[in-house]
Amino acid sequence: MFHDRARYQSTKGYQLAPLRFSRLDDARYVVTNDVGEYVVLPRHELVDFVRHALPPHREAYKTLKSKHFLFDEHSRVALELLALKYRTRAEQLANFTGLHIFVVTLRCDHSCAYCQVSRQAEGAREFDMSQEHADRALDFMFRSPSPTLKVEFQGGEPLLHFERIRYIVERAKALNQVHRRDLQFVIASNLSRLTDEVLDFCREHGVLLSTSLDGPEDLHNTQRPVRGGDSHRRTLQAIHRARQALGPDSVSALMTTTQASLTRVEDIIDEYVRQGFHGIFLRNISPYGFAVRQRASRQYDVGAWVEFYRRGLAHILRINEQGYPLQEEYTAILLQKLFSPRGSTYVDLQSPAGIGIGALVYNYDGAVYASDEGRMLAEMGDFSFRLGHLSHDSYESIMTSDTLLAHLSDTMPEGVPMCGDCAFLPYCGADPVFHQATMKDAVGHKAFSAFCQKQMSVLRHLIGLLEDDARARDILMGWR
């Protein structure tokens, strides 16, 4: 016997789960929840939804129900599923600090105008990390409960103090016979000092390389000058040698967007394709170090970078359509935040912020910072994110310091004005160092924040592509 259809339809209405919504464009709104699920609705359906007037037969009702935006009498178990998703996204906090940055020297042989770290002359060995500080930093690193520990060597140019890199890697692997962690090593270098000795060491110990490539020869040489004027040629030769010695995926590259880059995003991307890279990070310049002193970080506003990004992403999508796989790395991170059950571990987009609990920085002089940007800020005279010193502070005192705990408390966007009501909150972060550098306040005023403007513009554009362009969506969904 078949009953009338109305018998199976709820007459008790539905309840709303916690949600936020923001305008996507002139006609639509994006609605999100605490676990990063999102739905795009026209205004009239959003109004019906929040007024509890959305009929169960509507497609929007079914979508909202499936993504845990509403609960009716047939979906009570969904509340438990929502809680499980929330715990899954938050559980990475329990792993604590996974990234440990060793600044082995501030010496450098390049003179990049946008340098963020206040480089020092090649012969200034007083800016090298001592063995004593290296040992103490390794002790701190292994105190972290994280099952995976990533060691990143930075500078200056870290290969100018290669003997300290060698010591730290070998010592870390020896200590790991007891600690049994998954160790990873990366050297962030301009590769100008890449010798056969370095390559042999990297091959023996599984060390990866990260370098800078700002685009075609003329642009790269202008932005990354070195004695002799052939920075681009040296970089490409080193990349080729590293790939031959260590494998095709052993070297990654990073670019920085300057005023000169803004009109050349297609040229920059094409250079990455020519050099065989399958990823590019369209990175905006940061307001630290020489980048501020030489005004490199103030030559364009965030709106100009957003247009640069939009054009770049369109070009990358065209390249993928032509058969060459290439992904924009920042977009890939946001796609993880949008679709991965665990979100992303990218330090700059965490709540609370990834400072300290996501990354620690051990400076050449023994100072410990909550983030790499925090130590860059210190080079400008602002020590807001200095947590202590390896010589006289314990791991416990640093990780429970008022400095770190106060910043963590301030960097939970859920409780920050404007952030708490923003639909893009699940995909965002706080970036307290950026706001301290630009507004002299770690929380910042979100209405005037370039960080917020960048995030909202990129996310609106990305969600719009996912909703409106089927070909783009197919490509983008392969990046997450």
Average pLDDT per run of 10 along the chain, which is 480 residues long? Answer: 48 84 96 95 96 94 93 78 84 87 94 73 89 98 96 96 98 98 97 96 98 96 88 96 96 94 97 97 76 52 95 98 98 94 84 91 97 88 94 96 92 88 92 89 90 96 98 96
| pLDDT score at 293 | 47
What would the CATH number be for the domain defined by 95-300? Answer: 3.20.20.70
Asked whether the CA dihedral 327, 331, 334, 338 is positive or negative, the reply is negative
pLDDT at 421: 92
Rg (CA), the chain: 24
Question: Nearest 5°: phi and psi at 257?
Answer: -85, 120
Domain ranges of the chain: 23-90, 95-300
By CB atoms closer than 10 A (0-12, 13-18, 19+), residue 48 is: middle
How high is the pLDDT of residue 8?
Answer: 41
In angstroms, the CA 411 to CA 43 distance is: 31
Distance CA 464, CA 427 (A): 15
Residue 365's Cβ-side half-sphere holds a number of Cα atoms within 13 Å equal to 11
Q: Looking at this protein, which amino acid is placed at residue 452?
A: C
The reported pLDDT for the residue numbered 117 is 63
Give the pLDDT confidence score for residue 11 in this predicted structure: 43
In which region does residue 53 sit, left (phi positive, over 0), alpha (psi from -120 to 50) or beta (all else)?
alpha
How would you list the strands of the sheet with 38-42, edge to edge? Answer: 20-23, 28-32, 38-42
283-304 pLDDT tens trace? 998 776 544 444 544 567 899 9
